[in-house]
Structure 1
């Protein structure tokens, strides 16, 4: 075994020991910190359903976010000034207000005004629109990083705008934004917890129901943390892997 591999193993063990020490200190200082695994058995089906709801909402919101962000990105690079202004105003307002406020205000006032009464549909739509601003800003940043020389060459060669976008510009944008988009997806997954504010039966809402019925708050919130980590840690690993691939390419 090489010295580099041994050092890596020791580093992992050291970090593991530190986290275990912190955990033991927390348990020692809080006598009420007790996990009741048996209580989870009675609500396993309900908890599993809430977890699947979170995954489903995340996937649907991701697809919608990419669609909306593509539209917003198109507005940001459009030759029509009013589309540029709309993009700027929309993203400034969306990102300038916390998502929690968006969910409460937009669901109880805007979505109900346009006939959307289902909290699952309304909440997913609001979350998608909010996250689309992050994706659009990422696309815009990658677009601005493309060297001006490439645009000059495309202009000199007289290439059609459609060919320039699909064959030259978009591949570079996708390549440069994949790691960041993966991180944004992890943020999207965590943001689904706020949909419990409008009674969407996702994982956080089900955990709150479990806590209210069993009073096992420690067990419930520990399970909640583990549930989200089971999704976000693989996404973080994927983002790091993609980042290395992009750097090497």
Structure 2
């Protein structure tokens, strides 16, 4: 087979649009899922056994099952069970957000445990309300400590987002696969798609190391 990567050039704009949709899904679900993960981490440390058991079951379920199955369940089963039609884009947001919340809750839980007891004692001594304590004292410190693993989670979410093409969402993977099928050039286009994913993910993985060495060691510890 004669390889000709010049066949990719006429489709670069379509591929970029697919990449834009992938980045949009990843960024929005990462933000919402991270905030939900922080709330989950607080609930998992709750003195209530029922609350702790329910949140732990949620986290372990979404961490222990494939994202593809979660995506298919929301897209195919949710409308049947609850009799509510869900567009593909909404099912993708729900699935990725639930998955991100589960994996980031463990990140924040570890960060919360690393906050010294003196910080909690100081909040009590200052008579701060629980809301003020969490928002202005605990959350900033936990976020700072959680930045490197959070960035790693975002990179993982970006790569896992290739699965959303299975429900017909025109992301980068979906566009690349369709073009490769129509042009009979799977090697050129799928290789190009893989390189695009790598070019986006690799700088983020390098950023994790930079943040950890330059920020966390200076401010968090």
Q: Deviations over 1:49-86 (max 9, x none)?
A: 21111111112211221232233223223344332222
Q: Aligned to 2:86, what secondary structure does the other structure show?
A: coil
Q: TM-score, normalised by structure 2?
A: 0.88
2:40 aligns with: 72
What is the CA–CA distance in structure 1 between the aligned matches of 2:85 and 2:26, rounded to whole Å?
A: 19
What is the CA–CA distance in structure 1 between the aligned matches of 2:13 and 2:127, rounded to whole Å?
A: 61
Larger radius of gyration: 1
What is the CA–CA distance in structure 2 between the aligned matches of 1:89 and 1:248, rounded to whole Å?
A: 36
1:55 aligns with: 23
Q: CA RMSD in A?
A: 2.0
1:86 aligns with: 54
Residues 236/111 of structure 1: CA separation in 2 closer, same or farther (3 Å cut): farther
Of 138, 160, 166, the residue aligned with 2:107 is 138
Mind listing any 5+ residue stretches in structure 1 that lack a counterpart? Answer: 1-31
Q: What displacement does 1:112 show?
A: 5.3
The answer to whether the Cα contact below 8 Å between 2:42 and 2:109 also exists between their aligned partners in 1 is no
Mind listing any 5+ residue stretches in structure 2 that lack a counterpart? Answer: none
Greater Cα offset, 230-239 or 69-78: 69-78
1:43 aligns with: 11
Residues 45/182 of structure 1: CA separation in 2 closer, same or farther (3 Å cut): same
1:239 aligns with: 208
What is the CA–CA distance in structure 2 between the aligned matches of 1:153 and 1:64, rounded to whole Å?
A: 30
The answer to whether the Cα contact below 8 Å between 1:111 and 1:122 also exists between their aligned partners in 2 is no
Count residues in correspondence: 217
1:195 aligns with: 164
Q: Aligned to 1:201, what secondary structure does the other structure show?
A: coil
Q: What displacement does 1:137 show?
A: 1.0
Q: TM-score, normalised by structure 1?
A: 0.79
The answer to whether the Cα contact below 8 Å between 2:111 and 2:142 also exists between their aligned partners in 1 is yes
2:214 equivalent to 1:248: no
Q: Deviations over 1:18-71 (max 9, x none)?
A: xxxxxxxxxxxxxx4x54223223323322221111111112211221232233
Greater Cα offset, 78-87 or 131-140: 78-87
What is the CA–CA distance in structure 2 between the aligned matches of 1:189 and 1:35, rounded to whole Å?
A: 28
